[in-house]
Amino acid sequence: MAADRLSPEEVARYREQGYIVPRYRVPAARLAAMRALLERLIAENPGRRPEHLVLRWGGGVAARPTDAAFLDHARDPEILDLVEQLIGPDIVLWGSHVFCKPAGHGLEVPWHQDGQYWPIRPLASVTVWLALDASRRENGCLRVIPGSHRTQSIYHHRLDERPALAINQVVDDARFDEGRAVDVELEAGQLSIHDVYMLHGSRPNRSDQRRAGFASRYMPATSLYDRSIAFPGGSAGIKQNMALRPIYLVRGQDRAGNDFSLGQDRPFQVGDDG
Ligand SMILES: O=C(O)CCC(=O)C(=O)O
């Protein structure tokens, strides 16, 4: 069990607020490896916005693809210990996404709830968002509406396809009050965790400092990753096909009949639209 596991007060705060910044920090060597890999991912994908670096592992968890640093982090027992405290002992890693906002022209992530376009039933998931760079108000840190997850409902969203937005699903609901927003500022190597019902977003990056974060998505294995209801036409404006994505049981047992074999025979790639 990680030395920095969440205290009962932190778990209670997560339940109350829908997000938390744990004390845990990623070891410097891993952070350096992930940052080096990020440079490579960006260089190898010149046609893709760096806010859209969805990672599709494939090859099986045991295959350890060359690009192992991100996967190692997502499966790190210390990270899973934190996740377990929030969603229980049976854990599925079902998605990973690097949101890199370049200095000067990083895209806005409009206010949204993730659960609006995620094919998980019953809907339950947490995102571990690791700061690969310092993430501050000036360079477009994550922003949340504390407590907004407590309705356990999906607010009304509308489609907004402006290219200035990193995703095209935008909350449009009378219950939404941006005046209650809180900036989640992090040093590189720190992480935040947020609930699937949490309203969140981030401003554009007009500063001279890049802002990159690596988001890993986990669901309890009591939920089904339901490929038949994956959001049609690419998910949230990002080229990704959630129906075909390989998912991984990273701890405990599957309790919902999840399909862990689909997609495992395909190699790691950035973007899973194919
Ligand atoms: O990185 C960001 O600014 C947004 C992240 C986000 O929307 C998410 O992790 O669900």
200 CB under 6 A from ligand 1?
yes
3 domain residue, yes or no: no
User: What digits encode the pLDDT tens for the residues 71-90?
Assistant: 889 999 999 999 999 999 99
CA distance 111 to 50: 19
- Look up tokens 């599957």; give the residue: 254
Cα(85) to ligand 1 centroid in Å equals: 22
The CATH number of residue 152's host domain is: 2.60.120.620
Distance CA 203, CA 101 (A): 10
Q: pLDDT at position 232, please? A: 60
Q: Is 259 exposed, middle or buried (0-12, 13-18, 19+ CB in 10 A)?
A: middle
User: pTM (2 decimals)?
Assistant: 0.95
At 182, phi and psi to the nearest 5?
-125, 135
Using 50 as the pLDDT threshold, list the residues of the chain that sit under it: none
What's the confidence (pLDDT) of residue 233?
A: 57
- Structural domain harbouring 62: 8-270
Q: 19 CB less than 6 Å from ligand 1?
A: no
Structure tokens at 136: 């501050």
Ligand 1 pocket test: pick from 55, 109, 120 the residue with the most ligand atoms within 8 Å of its Cβ.
109
- pLDDT for res 60: 64
- E strand spans, the chain: 19-20, 53-56, 91-101, 109-112, 120-121, 126-131, 142-144, 157-159, 169-171, 182-184, 191-195, 200-202, 211-220, 224-225, 248-251, 269-270
Is there a domain that residue 157 lies in? Answer: yes
How many domains does the structure of the chain reveal?
Answer: 1
Instruction: Answer whether 210's CB lies under 8 Å from 98's CB.
Output: no
Give the position, in ligand 1's atom list, of the atom nearest the Cα of 213: 1
Cis (ω within 30 of 0) for the bond into 122?
yes
For the Cβ of 109 lying below 6 angstroms from any atom of ligand 1, the answer is yes
Q: Are 197 and 115 in contact (CB under 8 A)?
A: yes
Q: Give the span between the Cα atoms of 72 and 130, in whole angstroms.
A: 13
Contacts of 65 (CB under 8 A, 6+ apart): 57, 58, 59, 71, 267, 268
Strand 157-159 to 169-171 pairing = antiparallel
CA distance 171 to 158: 6
Query: Tens digits of per-residue pLDDT, 160-198?
Result: 889 999 988 899 999 999 999 999 999 999 999 999 999
Transcribe 174-225 into DSSP letters: TT--GGG-EEE-B-TTBEEEEETT--EEE--B-SSS-EEEEEEEEEETTSEE
Looking from the CA of 116 toward its CB, the CA atoms found within 13 Å total 24
CA 213 / ligand 1 centre spacing (Å): 8
